[in-house]
Amino acid sequence: MATPRTKTPPPVRTGLRRPLPGPAEGEVRLGELNDFIGFHLRLAQDASFRAFARQTGHPELKPGRFAAMMVIRNTPDISQVALSRAIARDKSSVTPMIQELLRRGLVTRRPSPIDRRSMMLRLTPAGEALVGELLVHARRHDGTLDEIVGARKAEFITILRRLADRLG
């Protein structure tokens, strides 16, 4: 307080968050939290997200973008609203996302000839290339998850899907 603080330079944002240590053994007691599915869902999703961001060499492209590009790739000429439903986000959240992908030359937008309100999205060749590259990392990442999940992968995914479906 007595000494004037030197001006803080803007922190460098790496976008690559380092892994955070989990709770140290015996350090804390979670109590009933231990029985809550929601709590563990959050921790697992968070860890998975971080691990993916770390492993892919593209810290600027987050899993959310990757998922959107995958959907566009698998459903060419999809509209923004349909995309927003597929990734469970509001359409107003999709707009800036698509704008970024457009700016980076990864997707194209063409007006639909059928419905002049809506736009048809497609990946550009650059977009296809990037998705292909990210897919390598995504597969490796999911391979890691597979090992952790074990033999019951299909059942595990079924349950996750059921959760997402029924809670919507």
Partner DNA sequence: TATTGTTATACTCTATAACTATA
Partner DNA sequence: TATAGTTATAGAGTATAACAATA
Q: Which does 24 bind (CB under 5 to 8 A by kind): a second copy, DNA, none?
A: a second copy
Cα-based distances in Å from 37 to 40, 41, 43, 45, 109: 5, 6, 10, 12, 40
Q: Which residue, 124 or 144, is less far from a second copy as judged by CB?
A: 144
Whether 79 contacts 112, CB under 8 Å: yes
Q: Which does 137 bind (CB under 5 to 8 A by kind): DNA, a second copy, none?
A: none
Q: What's the closest the beta carbon of residue 45 comes to DNA, in angstroms? A: 10
Does residue 22 bind DNA (CB under 7 A)?
A: no
Beta bridge partners of 110: 120
Taking the CB of residue 125, how many other CB atoms lie within 10 A of it?
A: 9
Q: Where are the alpha helices (DSSP H) in 26-152?
A: 37-55, 63-74, 80-86, 91-103, 125-149
Q: How many residues bind DNA (CB under 7 A)?
A: 41
Q: What's the closest the beta carbon of residue 127 comes to a second copy, in angstroms? A: 15
d(CA 76, CA 69): 10
Q: Which does 7 bind (CB under 5 to 8 A by kind): DNA, a second copy, none?
A: DNA
Q: What's the closest the beta carbon of residue 145 comes to DNA, in angstroms? A: 19
* Among 16, 58, 86, 108, interactor with a second copy by CB under 8 A: 86
Q: What's the closest the beta carbon of residue 28 comes to a second copy, in angstroms? A: 4
* Among 41, 126, 129, 136, interactor with a second copy by CB under 8 A: 41
Does residue 14 bind DNA (CB under 7 A)?
A: yes
Helix, strand or coil, per DSSP, at residue 111: strand
Cα-based distances in Å from 83 to 35, 39, 90, 143, 144: 34, 28, 10, 26, 28
Contact positions toward DNA, by CB under 7 A? 1, 3, 5-15, 17-18, 20, 46, 60, 62, 64-65, 79-82, 88-96, 98-99, 115-119
